[in-house]
Every structure is written in C-alpha cells, then in structure tokens.
Chains A and B, each alone.
Chain A
C-alpha cells in the first residue's frame, strides 16, 4: 500500500532543547496510525512539522510525496485536516457560525455543516455560542471543523482527551467510519485503549525518538508473558507456565470444580510502553 506520510531521521530543536531526535516512520494510505507518548515527548511538534507549521532542524518529512513545509501553501491545505490542543474557535460566535466560516473558506456547501454536526453529535446545539460550551463540546466542534472538507489525512492531537466515555465512543465510531471511507488518520493519544481500538499501527515515542513501531496485535504477541492465570474458588491465585507441564494441574482443577476464573496474561499497550520506556504514559 502507498505511503501517505514518510518521515526519516526527523530532528527538531527549540534552542538547547531537543524535541525530536532521529524520528522515522511511515503511514500507509487509509490506515489509522497511533503516535503514542507521554506529554512533552514531541507528538505535537511532529504534527506541526507534518502540517507545515514548523520547520524541522534535520531529516525529511514528506506528506503526499511532497516535503511537509509545502503543505503551508494554500493549494495543499484542502488535502489535510488538523485538530491540535491549541486549536481555537471564535468564542463569541455560535457553533454554526464557526463552521460556516470554514465552509466558506473551503468553498463547501452549507449542507455539509449538518453532516459533520451529526457526526460529532452536536446537531441540536448548533445555535449555542462557543463560549458556553464545555471543553468536551469544544473539542467536538474542532473535530467537526477539521472534517468539513473531507480531508485525505486527518491529524488529531489527543482528540478525546477532554471527553466523557459516551462522547469518546461516539467520536471513535465516527473516526472508524471516516477511516472506512478511506481517510487516513494520524492520531496522538495517551489513551492506550483508544489506540488499541482504533489504530492499525502504533509508534511509541519517548525522549524524541520512536522506541517501537508495529501493529498493536503484533506488539501484544511479542510482549505476551506465556503464563496462565488461575483464580480458585478459595481465593488463591496461581500463575502457571503456558505449556504441557501445566496440563495435569489444570485438568485436576477442572475435575475438582474449584476454578473461579482462568485466563492467559496478555499485556496492554500501556504495559508494553512501560516495559519499553520505563515510564508511565502520563
């Protein structure tokens, strides 16, 4: 499959602080790519470089096969959408007026506004002034704005960080549908469940470099501990090796009907991140 994003040895320094240091990865067209890392690891800087807002210090960053810096030219801005943590809305205007401005800037028919409002579950709130919205609702308006022009690739920086579970679920459903329709999604998140649920491929970013890059299921397989966890009705918990040596014990537990619960031990993406980087994803 064709790569829509190609990043090689990307580096960015802000004064003495090295934000990115030799980052390399590719994003295939049509996939959802998760860029995971703790605060300050360089996720937002990467998005800014990929959307032409910031110039890298070294390395290459190509989007659609062209250097990302050229995306700053108006002709390319139709092709991508972006929601970052510092995107702003016009607070004195209504949700509808905010979206209408961008519909006009992209030369998009007004009916598309209703479609995106439905996607983010805000169709009944369209007359509300933005300054009266909660953080979660504001986040949904920003997402609606980024979806207006049906971008080929959508860059999302922590899109559900301020949302409650019900609204996160609604957004996830919308993103999955969008991805099914062919939109490539580049997603940064702290939420490992979100990454696991949405992403075809994830990269772990730590101290300005990509520490691990693979599909979530491969990572889980790779970092799986070959252990069977058995909880007995007495409350006792056992960890047995996942091989033939445990068969006799398990058979005995089953015949004696003393098993409360039995499972294999599968790591979450969060567990893998901690194992690889030695720190929590916060």
Chain B
C-alpha cells in the first residue's frame, strides 16, 4: 500500500479550512487558553497548575478536535465519500491527526507560555507530552468512530476532560477520597511525575516507571482504536 503525501496534505488543508470556520469546535478547543489566562493573573503558579494546563490542553484539545472532526464527517456523510476515493485510511487519519497535532501544540505552548512555564531542560517532559498527545489523538479517533454527531462528541468529551484533563487537580484530594488513587495512573499525573523527577534527578531507575505507564496507555488506546476501526470499516 502506498502512502501519498499529496493526499494527506489535501485532507490536512481541507480540515484546517473547515475547522477555521467551525466556531463551536474551535471555542471548545481553546478553553485551556482561557483557564491559563485566568491562572496567569493569580501570581506564580505551582508545578501542579502548569501540569494541569499541559494535560488539559493535550487531552481536551487533542481528543475533542479529532473526535469532532471524525464525528462530523460521519454526521454529514462525507466520510463515505473519502472512503470511496483513492485516499487510504492511514492517509485520512494522518491528515486529520496533523491538524489536531498542530492546533493542540499551539494551544499547549501558548497556555504554558501565558503561565511562565520554564521550558528549558524539560526534554524528557516534552517526550512524555508527545507520547500523551498520541494517546489522546488515538482516543479522539476511537471516540469519533463510536459517536454519530458532533453534539454527541461534545458530551462524550466530558468524562475525558474530568478523568484525564483534571486528574492533576483531583489527585490533591486523594487523602480524603481514596478512590481517587486510581488517577495516579493517568498520563497527566505521570507527566507531573516526570516533571518532578527531572527537576531533581534524571535517574532512569525512577523515570522508567512513568514512561512505562504512559507507554501502556499508548499501546492499549491505539490497539482499541485500530480494532474498532477495522470493525466499522463496513456498514
């Protein structure tokens, strides 16, 4: 099977133009920026708050954009047209994922910039964040496959926002509510772990664990998406 960059770029350009005119999806996607702006006015932010903006941007924007784009294609019967064209599934998904990646990275960067996040010496956090971005885009793809409309997608995104996007905030209540301990295994909390560890040491004896947990998420979500996609290829 060949992979055509031209076809991938055609889908990228189409989705970017389409998104630019879709105020509903864009407004939801830029919510982390509004939060970052509010927090930046409250003085110097602790690491937990930086990590919450990072995780919220990655999960909300990454998952919702991807999910909304696919759900809208299904809702408006345009996905069928693409599937009947010479575009392959990898080309279609790569084009869409490129748009999601671009917007998510811009939102995340601007959000952290507003909060004066120290970007220097955070290479490992960057690697972890990119892995988390892949997880959330795959999750968005899966959700796009199981939802039928953009409105449905915007409801499905709520648990993602609370469980993945705000885990860094909720984990602070773990002493009062033991069940919240499960949130320690979310990608966002693991990113915070990486940020905390790289702040004091770069010892792989400790760092391997958060990366292993993030990798586990990545494998599970990507596999779930691929299986669901293969099942839904036909009506």
> A interface vs B, CB < 8 Å?
48, 51, 53-55, 72, 74-75, 77-78, 82, 86-93, 97, 100-102, 104-107, 145
Does B234 sit at the interface, judged by CB under 8 A? yes
Task: Take A74-B1, A88-B76, A105-B10 as given contacts and tell me if A55 and B81 are in contact as well, using a CB distance cutoff of 8 Å.
Answer: no
How distant is A49 from chain B, measured CB to nearest CB, in Å?
11
Contact of B7 among A48, A90, A97, A105 (CB under 8 A): A105
A86 to B78, CA, bound (A): 9
- Which residue in chain A gives the minimum CB-CB distance to B6? A104
Extra A-B contacts (14), CB below 8 Å, given A75-B86, A92-B21, A104-B9: A72-B83, A74-B86, A77-B84, A77-B86, A86-B80, A88-B81, A89-B76, A90-B18, A92-B17, A93-B17, A93-B18, A104-B6, A105-B85, A107-B86
How distant is A117 from chain B, measured CB to nearest CB, in Å?
18
Residues of chain A within 8 A of B78, CB atoms compared:
88-90
Does B161 sit at the interface, judged by CB under 8 A? no
Does B88 sit at the interface, judged by CB under 8 A? yes
Contact of A97 among B6, B14, B235 (CB under 8 A): B14
Task: Take A55-B234, A74-B1, A92-B21 as given contacts and tell me if A101 and B86 are in contact as well, using a CB distance cutoff of 8 Å.
Answer: no
**Closest 7 pairs between A and B when the two form their complex, measured CB to CB:** A88-B77, A104-B10, A92-B21, A88-B78, A88-B76, A105-B85, A101-B14
Does B87 sit at the interface, judged by CB under 8 A? yes
Check B18–A102 contact: CB distance below 8 A.
no
Check B234–A105 contact: CB distance below 8 A.
no
> B interface vs A, CB < 8 Å?
1, 4, 6-7, 9-11, 13-14, 17-18, 21-22, 76-78, 80-88, 234-235
How distant is A99 from chain B, measured CB to nearest CB, in Å?
11
How distant is A108 from chain B, measured CB to nearest CB, in Å?
10
Residues of chain B within 8 A of A75, CB atoms compared:
86
Residues of chain B within 8 A of A102, CB atoms compared:
81, 85
Contact of A92 among B18, B77, B235 (CB under 8 A): B18
A87 to B78, CA, bound (A): 7
A77 to B4, CA, bound (A): 15
Check A74–B88 contact: CB distance below 8 A.
yes
Q: Once A and B bind, how many residue pairs between them come within 8 Å at the CB atom?
A: 74
Residues of chain A within 8 A of B81, CB atoms compared:
87-89, 102, 145
Check A87–B80 contact: CB distance below 8 A.
yes
Task: Take A54-B234, A101-B14, A105-B7 as given contacts and tell me if A88 and B80 are in contact as well, using a CB distance cutoff of 8 Å.
Answer: yes
Residues of chain B within 8 A of A97, CB atoms compared:
14, 17
Check B85–A107 contact: CB distance below 8 A.
no
How distant is A146 from chain B, measured CB to nearest CB, in Å?
9
- Which residue in chain B gives the minimum CB-CB distance to A102? B85
A100 to B9, CA, bound (A): 12
- Which residue in chain B gives the minimum CB-CB distance to A14? B235
Check B235–A54 contact: CB distance below 8 A.
yes
- Which residue in chain A gives the minimum CB-CB distance to B7? A105
Check B84–A53 contact: CB distance below 8 A.
yes
A88 to B17, CA, bound (A): 17
Residues of chain A within 8 A of B86, CB atoms compared:
74-75, 77-78, 105-107
Residues of chain A within 8 A of B7, CB atoms compared:
104-105, 107
Check B85–A92 contact: CB distance below 8 A.
no
A92 to B76, CA, bound (A): 11
- Which residue in chain A gives the minimum CB-CB distance to B78? A88
A98 to B80, CA, bound (A): 14
Check A53–B17 contact: CB distance below 8 A.
no
Residues of chain B within 8 A of A104, CB atoms compared:
6-7, 9-10
A53 to B84, CA, bound (A): 8
Task: Take A48-B235, A87-B77, A89-B78 as given contacts and tell me if A106 and B6 are in contact as well, using a CB distance cutoff of 8 Å.
Answer: no
A152 to B82, CA, bound (A): 19
- Chain A to chain B contacts (Cβ below 8 Å), 14 pairs: A53-B235, A54-B234, A74-B87, A74-B88, A87-B81, A88-B80, A88-B81, A89-B81, A91-B76, A92-B22, A97-B14, A100-B10, A105-B85, A107-B7
A72 to B78, CA, bound (A): 16
